[in-house]
């Protein structure tokens, strides 16, 4: 789907393109992509990796066009891996600015709303790239907080009953944080490259804010990731200890029940044991079995096997 946004008190959707508008391709169907590349004569080599969902943050140029690839977070409703990252391709030359993304994302929707709130009336391609990097960092932090909240809920449930489903959730959230960590690190390196590549002002407030947001987002993801890894390690140890405890109890119970069986089997042999004629033999055998079982129970309880 091709969308056009005109800058007037923020980016506003418009049906017709005029020079200076922001062009956004969502889903980048081949026919629509060819339509845009033919219309603006974009070199094919810049878009060679447009369908690579794992494309890393980088900057490239050719025939006056500049390509900047950043990674932004994406929420995946209804899937086991709730959060992932996708590449956002930014292509610009002069007053032409084109963005291409495989999926709709909250980050882009929020940025459009932000420009309306701030009544933005002036920006250029270089500033827009930095704005999008900063906005992506904000949404990385938002999703990381969501993951942390969900992790806390799962931890509270697992304190009472550890289930495989809860462990799988923790595993998927850890994978999301790994993707976030890699994407933010790539965006940080990209911003440093853009400083010289696009000749940005290192002392400008926008660049400083973007650098700060990316750093804070990366540190937050790193802390929550390490915390989640520690949580998973702890619960893995708890599961292992629970299994060991069950095995110890089963072994102890088997030993206690084995003693009466052993005594009964001796007296059940077809051999002369001088108790055949005694009317107290059965009670003596039962008493001996109870005594040995009780002694075994006390010993195992003392050793904390029960």
Write down which residue in 241, 264, 292 finishes a domain. 241
* Cβ–Cβ under 8 Å, residues 54 and 122: no
Write down which residue in 221, 241, 261 finishes a domain. 241
DSSP 17: -
CB neighbour burial string for 127-162, b if at least 16 within 10 angstroms, e if fewer: bbbbbbbbbbbbbbbbbbeebbeebeebeeebeeee
In total, how many domains does the chain have?
2
Query: What percent of the chain is predicted at pLDDT more than 70?
Result: 93
164-190 per-position pLDDT tens digit? 777 888 888 999 999 999 999 999 999
79-127 per-position pLDDT tens digit? 778 899 999 999 999 889 999 998 888 999 999 998 988 888 877 888 8
Q: What are phi and psi of 97, to 5 degrees?
A: -130, 120
- What's the token pair of residue 129? 């790239």
Domain co-membership, 212 together with 162: yes
Domain co-membership, 170 together with 250: no
Q: What is the SS3 assignment for 68? A: strand
Domain co-membership, 119 together with 250: no
Whole-number mean pLDDT of the chain?
Answer: 85
DSSP result, 119-174: T-----HHHHHHHHHHHHHHHHHHHHHHHHHHHHHHHHHHTT---HHHHHHHHHHH
Question: Is the model's pLDDT at 245 over the cut of 80?
Answer: no
Write down which residue in 215, 241, 267 finishes a domain. 241
Looking up residue 200, the CATH number of its domain turns out to be 3.30.460.20
pLDDT band at 213 (very low <50, low <70, confident <90, very high): very high
Domain co-membership, 254 together with 143: no
pTM for the model stands at 0.80
Domain co-membership, 145 together with 257: no
Range of the domain at 289: 245-302
Domain co-membership, 6 together with 139: yes
Domain co-membership, 193 together with 268: no
At 122 the pLDDT is 78
Domain co-membership, 234 together with 249: no
Residue 11 has a CB neighbour count (10 Å cut-off) of 23
Q: 76 to each of 84, 86, 208, how far by Cα in Å?
A: 7, 11, 31
Question: Is the model's pLDDT at 137 over the cut of 90?
Answer: yes
At 291 the pLDDT is 83
């Amino acid at each position: 789907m091709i969308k056009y946004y005109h800058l007037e008190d923020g980016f506003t959707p418009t049906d017709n393109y005029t020079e200076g508008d922001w062009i956004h391709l969502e889903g980048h169907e081949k026919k629509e992509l060819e339509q845009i590349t033919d219309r603006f004569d974009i070199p094919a080599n810049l878009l060679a990796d447009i369908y690579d969902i794992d494309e890393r943050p980088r900057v490239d140029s050719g025939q006056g066009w500049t390509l900047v690839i950043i990674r932004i977070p994406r929420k995946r409703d209804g899937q086991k891996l709730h959060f992932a990252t996708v590449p956002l391709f930014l292509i610009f030359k002069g007053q032409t600015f084109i963005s291409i993304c495989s999926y709709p994302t909250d980050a882009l929707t929020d940025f459009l709303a932000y420009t309306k709130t701030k009544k933005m009336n002036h920006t250029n391609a270089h500033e827009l790239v930095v704005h999008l990097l900063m906005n992506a960092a904000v949404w990385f932090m938002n999703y990381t907080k969501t993951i942390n909240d969900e992790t806390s809920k799962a931890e509270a449930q697992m304190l009472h009953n550890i289930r495989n489903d809860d462990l799988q959730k923790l595993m998927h959230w850890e994978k999301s944080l790994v993707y976030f960590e890699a994407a933010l690190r790539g965006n940080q390196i990209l911003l440093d490259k853009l400083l010289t590549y696009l000749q940005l002002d290192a002392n400008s407030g926008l660049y400083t804010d973007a650098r700060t947001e990316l750093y804070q987002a990366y540190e937050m993801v790193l802390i929550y990731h390490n915390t989640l890894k520690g949580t998973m390690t702890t619960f893995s140890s708890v599961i292992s200890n629970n299994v060991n405890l069950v095995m110890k109890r089963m072994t102890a119970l088997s030993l206690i029940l084995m003693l009466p069986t052993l005594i009964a089997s001796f007296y059940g042999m077809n051999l002369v044991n001088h108790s055949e004629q005694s009317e107290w033999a059965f009670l003596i055998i039962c008493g001996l079995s109870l005594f040995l079982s009780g002694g075994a129970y006390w010993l195992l309880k003392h050793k904390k096997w029960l």
